[in-house]
Amino acid sequence: MRFWETVGLILVLSAVGLTYEIAAGRVLAPFFGTSLVTWTTVIATVLAGFSFGSALGGLIAERERDVAAQLVRRALIATALLMALSPMILSMLYGLGARGTGGMILSVIVAFFPASVLVSFPSPYLAKLAVEARPGREGSSLGIVLAAGSLGAILGAVLAGFVALPIVGSALTFAGCGAVALMCVSFVRGGPQSILEIIAPAGLIIALSFANGSVCRYESGLSCIDVGYRDGELHLFSDRIAQAAERINSDNTPSQEDPLVLNYTQMLWARMSHDLPTSANVLFVGGGGYTLPSQLLSMRPNARAVAVEIDPLVTAVVQENFPWAASVIKDNRRLEIVHADGRRYINETERQFDAVVMDAFSSGSVPAHLVTLETYQRLREIVTGPVYVNLIDEPNGQLVRGTHAILTQLYPYVTAVVGPVSARGYANFILTASPTPLAPLDRLPADFMVTTLAASSPFTDDRGWIGHR
């Protein structure tokens, strides 16, 4: 093999490996959520596979060249198959009952470790060929090989985050990784070359994985979204977690019944309608189904709202499927939608608000950077009135206690209510903080009750929330 041909293969396989790693973290979210724990597991597993594969590949590189070339080709074919099938393997393990942190770790290892081993398996053999291709220039050749590996990793990360996952989704990204690995087989020459009978079925399986489609109905680099209809209610799911709902008629027009379906929205609106003036200017961090902004503007003709939603796809799905919220978004000039990260908007805005609703979620939990002392210190500068926080946690769990500690450190008046506990042991907590006393509600809706929380340390940007385990 020529020197630059070998270097090119190293670069391409490095790019495939990093694209695969980032796609693994994305496709894991609909099954186990997105948190520091899940990303740590994915990164550790894939890097362990890279390391083990490089070690094995080094042993093979020392064997006779034709034998090594044949083994490398077989490894690439196996890489292609395993990468393309990774989402199916993950889905199968989840269907078999993999749950919790232990199930997540097992699923990551089974679904992603083998392909990670095999994609790095050819690199030592290719590096050896590159060094041998330029006798007397071993040092510069090795340097170029190492640079190609790093450059490939950079390209793979950029490709995954800015192109593949946002445009074609995770399932097709995995299939594409497999297809590229399979294309590399023909460039590895040496030994018996009659491998068409192996490549053909591998290519067919990859083609079928292309046809298999996404793991959800709508997918971006940030969200995996589904819409479901049941008993006159339309539900919005992100990473399989219910995010919003509204009632609709059989002709897909808004129902005349109470549009607030989910009990936490009923609780939040009961509190907001009791506390806020008719002309309130409210910041919503987390758009979701735009249920609460729609309710505010529908019930308060003089109110205004800014909804900050990180993913434009969420807004597009709501406009396409949810008639009540879509009509408010389309026709109401008092609603401003900003597609940006909530923390970034909070840090950069110069506007003032009468209240804020913190209702942003990534999978089943609040993003860690939105639940820190520094975030709420900045909110105190731009919000003159109440702060409403929606969280999902176990009773007296670490997330709700850490957030409660933030609020009690910054505000003199803080209340906490909790909704019904689900079969999984989680409940919605609504925390309300205010610089002035808030009159109690006459009654709490939807089975919510006042709760007390144990003392805890507040989350900070330095030591924050790491996710449910």
Tokens encoding 367: 């993003």
User: Do residues 373 and 366 touch, judged by C-beta distance below 8 A?
Assistant: no
Average pLDDT over residues 262-290: 94
Following DSSP, what letter does each residue of 233-244 receive, concatenated?
EEEEEETTEEEE
Average pLDDT over residues 368-381: 95
Average pLDDT over residues 428-448: 91
Number of Cβ within a 10 Å radius of residue 290: 29
Range with the poorest average pLDDT among 229-238, 275-284, 293-302: 229-238
Tokens encoding 326: 């879509």
Average pLDDT over residues 280-297: 95
- Contact partners, residue 190, CB within 8 Å, separation at least 6: 65, 66, 68, 69, 70
Q: Which residue has the tokens 């990468």?
A: 83
3-class DSSP string for 402-422 = HHHHHHHHHCCEEEEEECCCC
Average pLDDT over residues 81-96: 90
Q: What is the pLDDT of residue 186?
A: 84
Instruction: Assess whether pLDDT exceeds 60 at residue 96.
Output: yes
Positive or negative torsion for Cα 305, 309, 312, 314:
negative
In 12-82, which ranges are E strands?
none
Instruction: Assess whether pLDDT exceeds 50 at residue 393.
Output: yes
Tokens encoding 322: 């949810």
Amino acid residing at 89: I
Euclidean distance between CA atoms 272 and 252, whole angstroms: 29
**Which CATH code for domain 3-215?**
1.20.1250
Average pLDDT over residues 185-202: 68
Range with the poorest average pLDDT among 4-13, 247-256, 421-430, 457-466: 247-256
- The fold of 236-450 is Rossmann fold (3.40.50)
Q: Do domains 3-215 and 236-450 have the same CATH topology?
A: no
Euclidean distance between CA atoms 236 and 229, whole angstroms: 9
Domain ranges of the chain: 3-215, 236-450
CA proximity to 46, closest of 64, 26, 20, 67: 20
Euclidean distance between CA atoms 79 and 82, whole angstroms: 5
Q: What is the pLDDT of residues 25-70, one digit of tens each?
A: 988 888 887 788 899 999 999 999 999 999 999 999 999 999 999 9
Average pLDDT over residues 226-233: 87
Q: What is the pLDDT of residues 77-86, one digit of tens each?
A: 999 989 988 9
CA 104 from chain centre, in angstroms, equals 15
Instruction: Assess whether pLDDT exceeds 90 at residue 143.
Output: yes
User: Do residues 282 and 327 touch, judged by C-beta distance below 8 A?
Assistant: no
pLDDT band at 212 (very low <50, low <70, confident <90, very high): low
pLDDT band at 197 (very low <50, low <70, confident <90, very high): very low
User: Do residues 130 and 145 touch, judged by C-beta distance below 8 A?
Assistant: yes
Euclidean distance between CA atoms 370 and 358, whole angstroms: 8
Q: What is the pLDDT of residue 467?
A: 75
User: Do residues 1 and 145 touch, judged by C-beta distance below 8 A?
Assistant: no
